């Protein structure tokens, strides 16, 4: 498991109920792995935004912030959140209409006991982490 560089972020993870914590820690690892494997992203900054663990492409400016959190007031699910005006969730819906549950224009929702469609989720993360890069080059490539 990747070490936390920010004690406040570590404290948020520690406070999650165990079943959701395990899933969110796996999601955290996935975000870092996808960033490392995606050209143009470089390093991520891990911080809290709105009290949620958040991953920024501050070094490269290549993408939009990716946030993760449990579902509000529930222990049976968690989500990966994206900027609602980015159009990313609409893109994910068009590519993966039956793969994920979505919350409006801002999130992919996952159940704590559900199988995670890793390949599809990694693709969505990569699209978010390169969102600004694609906008700069005018690429619609998904």
- Quick: pLDDT tens for 38-97: 999 988 999 999 999 999 999 888 999 999 999 988 888 999 999 888 899 999 999 999
In this prediction the pTM is: 0.92
pLDDT digits (tens, 9 = 90+) for 8-30: 999 999 999 998 999 999 999 99
Helix (H, G, I), strand (E, B) or coil at 137: helix
| Domains defined along the chain, listed by start | 7-137 (3.90.1150.200)
DSSP-H helix ranges across 38-99: 88-95
């Amino acid at each position: 498991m990747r070490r936390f560089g920010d004690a406040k972020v570590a404290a948020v993870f520690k406070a999650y109920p165990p079943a959701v914590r395990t899933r969110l820690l796996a999601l955290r690892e996935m975000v870092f792995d996808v960033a490392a494997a995606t050209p143009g992203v470089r390093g991520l900054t891990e911080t809290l935004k709105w009290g949620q663990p958040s991953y920024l492409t501050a070094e490269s400016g290549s993408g939009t912030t990716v946030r993760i959190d449990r579902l509000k007031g529930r222990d049976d699910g968690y989500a990966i959140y994206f900027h609602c005006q980015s159009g990313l969730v609409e893109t994910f819906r068009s590519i993966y209409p039956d793969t994920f549950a979505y919350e409006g224009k801002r999130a992919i929702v996952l159940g704590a006991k559900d199988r995670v469609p890793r390949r599809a989720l990694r693709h969505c993360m990569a699209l978010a982490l390169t969102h600004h890069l694609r906008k700069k080059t005018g690429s619609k490539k998904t």
